[in-house]
Amino acid sequence: MRIVFAGTPDFAVPSLRAAAQRGEVVAAYTQPDRPAGRGRGLAASPVKLEAVARGIPVRQPESLRDAQAQAALRDLAPDLLVVVAYGLILPQAVLDIPRFGCWNVHASLLPRWRGAAPIQRAIQAGDAETGVCLMQMEAGLDTGPVLLEQRTPIAEDETGGRLHDRLAELGAQVLADGLGLLRAGIRPVPRPQPEQGATYARKLDKAEARLDWSRPAEELARTVRAFNPWPVAEATVAGERLRIHGAVALPLAHHAAPGTPLAAGRDGLDVACGQDALRLRVVQRDGGRAITAADWLNARRDLSFG
């Protein structure tokens, strides 16, 4: 079988490894090198680095909408195109090229959380479980029929980063299962997505990372977990801007104004919310590194609590 793989970030790397186990990946498509780091030099994507290490030819078109790019893909004579967080829109003309069409590994239980940030949105919404779907791609945004899926619970303390890594491996497993069936001559049965329960996981925006103390503590705690390691929640605490890397909600009745520091100790700093309180555990000052809230309190001897 001739497989073309299309992906860009770290999330896609385990799936590339799964697809390439039998030497069937004839090319890896990934986004062009982008400026990164303090020097803003061009950096290769994680998928490009993995493909180069495996001796897989890499292609990096700016778009797949023009006829020349589509002809180059057609010349590869792919049986299957596997797409994992590629980041470019695939027009219908591209979806029609492979013999078995295009498969997508998506990090949610479709139709819930279609779109760019399903992992973080699931945590932010307080979902008890999530998973990975292997989907037959069509022209709509994550609307194609589901071929296979795997479910997994979301732990109460799970961050966006940890869930990302777990789902990346789970996605590789689901893809490997699908490829195993296809090699055996069994095409996974497509299951159309129901319209009921469809939600959209919009792209993360740094502006969302600003915590609003008037919101319930549980909601803010979920945001802190979802936005770790990026874009990282931030808030003003005792007049200082802090990035919040770790926090938990406390069922604490109070009459203080939202944002008021209530108590402090070795376990952290409790801040009043619109409902209950948020205990800050790991924070980061401007220009500093992440430290425990207790260490930050040692540097803020000016604070007092009633």
Does residue 110 have a known ligand-binding role?
A: yes
d(CA 250, CA 275): 9
Strands (DSSP E) found in the chain:
3-7, 25-29, 34-36, 41-43, 58-59, 80-84, 102-106, 114-115, 129-136, 146-153, 200-201, 233-237, 240-250, 261-265, 268-272, 277-285, 290-292
Does residue 108 have a known ligand-binding role?
A: yes
Output the furthest CA–CA distance in the chain (Å, rounded): 73
Query: Of 276, 269, 181, which is closest to residue 220 (Cα–Cα)?
Result: 276
d(CA 119, CA 172): 16
Tokens standing for 179? 């490829």
Query: Of 303, 305, 296, which is closest to residue 244 (Cα–Cα)?
Result: 296
- C-alpha distances out from residue 46 to 15, 38, 98, 166, 168, Å: 12, 18, 24, 17, 13
Does residue 90 have a known ligand-binding role?
A: no
Beta bridge partners of 200: 114
d(CA 53, CA 85): 20
Instruction: Identify whether the C-beta of residue 223 lies closer than 8 Å to the C-beta of residue 213.
Output: no
Strands 240-250 and 277-285: antiparallel
d(CA 234, CA 76): 47
The residue to which tokens 């299962």 are assigned:
177
Residues flagged as binding site:
108-111
Residues flagged as binding site for (6S)-5,6,7,8-tetrahydrofolate:
108-111
